[in-house]
Structure 1
Amino acid sequence: MSRHGWTPSVTKASSPTGSGTGTTLAEALKQAAAELAAAGVPSPRVDAELLAAHLLGETPGRVRALAFTDVPAPEGFSTLVSERAARVPLQHLTGKAHFRYLELAVGPGVFVPRPETETVAQLAIDAARRAGPAKVADLGTGSGAIAAAVASEVPDAEVHAVELSPLAFAWAERNLAPLGVHLVLEDLRTALADHNASFDVVVSNPPYIPAEAVPNEPEAAEHDPAMALYGGGADGLELPLAAARTAARLLVAGGYFVMEHAEVQAPAIARLLAADPAWIDVESHRDLNDRPRATSAVRRPAPEASPNERMKT
């Protein structure tokens, strides 16, 4: 799921799923997959196995193996399946989301990290590694996914994360505290004012959906917080461009900025950054589905003073 694909939500559907006394795991998984498929869940069998794995405390692979035995379905399985059929996000039901090498705590009130954002995290990680002992900022961290990925994969980096929503901040704090990330409750437009011109890398996955658009996935439209979805303005670019301005303020000369956006916004963002004298080397990047998902730029170095100007100082 992503924040693009802005069409009205699909109709929810559900049907009974049996996992009562005498129902085997195999039977329950088959019934659950049928119920989830009827509800329009994109990966019904996988979701059914993940829900069973969550209740059993097993891996999905182990659940698939157990399905060849007469082991009974776990208690409460049908209830979770019904909730998933109502398009409650899988991650809200299990309380966790996988992002790169991490397992993050998530739930109501925070944007669930998507696989396409892993590409954005990789760009930030690569830049932090190139910078040596890097100072990195994640603007609009949400669950803390990108900041956590950078902190865990670039252990010598000093990572700061910014989040405005108190609910999302609580989830981010849970995910980032063990990794030593500096988390602040601030608006990305004014954040980290005491750290101007000190970061080597700034990364952001800001809200970017246009105000009048509605995500086509019920999981996003009905369960992701609006604060994490809508970027402001008819084109959704108010917050993305604010993130770029903050990045320009925070970065050292030659510092690296990368930001996620919707594929349809890629040309406009590239054009606007290229026209801004703060940036050079503007580049578009594609996600795992080969869609233009992120744009990066380098903070323009200050012009070198001429010999005469240096003598005057």
Structure 2
Amino acid sequence: MTDLAPLRSVSELRAHGVRVLELAHVPTPEADAELLLAHVLGLSRGQVQAKAVTGSGVDPDELLAYLEAVERRAAREPLQHITGVAPFRSLELAVGPGVFVPRPETEFVAQLAIDALQAVASPVPVAVDLGTGSGALALALATEVPHARVAAVENSPRAFIWAKENARRIGADNLRLVFADLAEALPELDGTVDVLVSNPPYIPDDAIPRDPEVRLHDPAVALYGGPDGLDVVRALSRRALALLRPGGALVIEHGELQGAELRALLEADGWRAAATHRDLLGRDRATTALR
């Protein structure tokens, strides 16, 4: 049983959290311990670090709330499920059970789509996000390219609720959410879309993720894409060919070993200029092509 007596200051709580998370093999124990403290105390991470240096104390309710949060994280519940939010570029997205937690590497994918959208000559460019999940990609496009019109499609009822909540919180008037299957979505936009982006499920069915946070908490429908991981991408390619105008840009996130296979798939479907792009860690992360 944890001895609560010594845990009276922010510094002591931080040190306790780091020890517990290290023993649980959490990949980033220092960051997670500080972010959980920030969540419990209603502070920023920087403010937590400052209070740890100055010896600030905590009250009994904050102590118990923090210990509970640390135990949940040590059990490998995602940090974002505990805090209820996930940062994504300039946004703070609400997330929880039933929706894929957006990852930092997807911010790179968003940048590719934003660059393509900003390069469109039309005064009101049109973008589509197929399989939007929490709304991360669509909301990044809508807020960072405010003169664009963005449509986001999701077919999971639980994920769609999170996307609606994020759209409400962020207040992007140029975003339209649609509940539909991506293989049949938005027929009214056929031939008019300038940029289509997607982070589809792309993990092969037998490639079970190592991280418990992913394996146990991310919804399977957002992870697995058939025997080779590309079943949804095949449907996505066909639908995107109909939605995009000639010269329109496609941006797809994928696994680091799927670039060559995905390019071959797109080229066989008739896409032009297929190219795979590496993220900041040097891993193949996204493939782009032109209609």
Bucket of the pairwise TM-score, normalised by the shorter protein: over 0.9
Please list every run of 5 or more consecutive structure 2 residues that lacks an aligned counterpart in the other structure: none
Q: What is the one-letter code of the residue matched to 2:286? A: A
Contact 1:125/1:150 (8 A) holds in 2 = yes
Task: For 1:22-171, list aligned pairs within 5 A.
Answer: 23-73=8-58, 74-75=62-63, 76-132=65-121, 133-171=124-162
Partner residue in 1 for 2:272: 280
Contact 1:111/1:228 (8 A) holds in 2 = yes
Contact 2:238/2:269 (8 A) holds in 1 = no
Q: Distance in 1 between matches of 2:234 and 2:29?
A: 38
Partner residue in 1 for 2:204: 210
The two structures have a TM-score, normalised by structure 1, of: 0.87
Partner residue in 2 for 1:289: 281
Please list every run of 5 or more consecutive structure 1 residues that lacks an aligned counterpart in the other structure: 1-15, 300-313
CA 1:18–1:51 in 2, change beyond 3 Å: closer, same or farther? farther
Q: Give a deviation string over 1:57-77, Cα, whole Å, max 9, x none.
A: 111011001012332243310
Q: Give the C-alpha shift of residue 20 in structure 1.
A: 5.9
Report the secondary structure of 2:277's partner residue: strand
> Pairwise CA RMSD of aligned residues?
1.3
Q: What is the one-letter code of the residue matched to 1:139? A: L
Alignment equivalent of 2:241, drawn from 242, 248, 251: 248
Q: Distance in 2 between matches of 1:37 and 1:44?
A: 6
Contact 2:160/2:179 (8 A) holds in 1 = yes
Q: What is the one-letter code of the residue matched to 1:195? A: L
Alignment equivalent of 1:187, drawn from 178, 181, 187: 181
**Does 1:263 find its partner at 2:252?**
no
Q: Give a deviation string over 1:82-116, Cα, whole Å, max 9, x none.
A: 00000000000000000011111111110000011
Q: Give the C-alpha shift of residue 201 in structure 1.
A: 0.5
Contact 2:237/2:269 (8 A) holds in 1 = no
Q: Give the C-alpha shift of residue 193 in structure 1.
A: 1.6
Count of equivalent residues: 282
Q: Give a deviation string over 1:268-289, Cα, whole Å, max 9, x none.
A: 0011112222x11111111121
**Does 1:230 find its partner at 2:224?**
yes
Report the secondary structure of 1:27's partner residue: helix
Contact 1:17/1:78 (8 A) holds in 2 = no
Q: What is the one-letter code of the residue matched to 2:25? A: G
Q: Give a deviation string over 1:199-226, Cα, whole Å, max 9, x none.
A: 0000000001111111111000000000
Q: Give the C-alpha shift of residue 26 in structure 1.
A: 0.8
CA 1:137–1:188 in 2, change beyond 3 Å: closer, same or farther? same
Contact 1:106/1:112 (8 A) holds in 2 = yes
Q: What is the one-letter code of the residue matched to 2:241? A: A
Q: Give the C-alpha shift of residue 122 in structure 1.
A: 0.4
Contact 1:19/1:78 (8 A) holds in 2 = no
Q: Distance in 2 between matches of 1:121 and 1:80?
A: 31
Q: Distance in 2 between matches of 1:144 and 1:19?
A: 41
Contact 1:52/1:77 (8 A) holds in 2 = yes
Contact 2:100/2:133 (8 A) holds in 1 = yes
Answer with 1 or 2: which has the greater Rg: 1
Contact 2:205/2:229 (8 A) holds in 1 = yes
Partner residue in 2 for 1:176: 167
Report the secondary structure of 1:230's partner residue: coil
Q: Give the C-alpha shift of residue 240 in structure 1.
A: 1.3
The two structures have a TM-score, normalised by structure 2, of: 0.94
Contact 1:17/1:82 (8 A) holds in 2 = no
Q: What is the one-letter code of the residue matched to 2:285? A: R
Q: What is the one-letter code of the residue matched to 1:150? A: L
Q: What is the one-letter code of the residue matched to 2:147? A: D
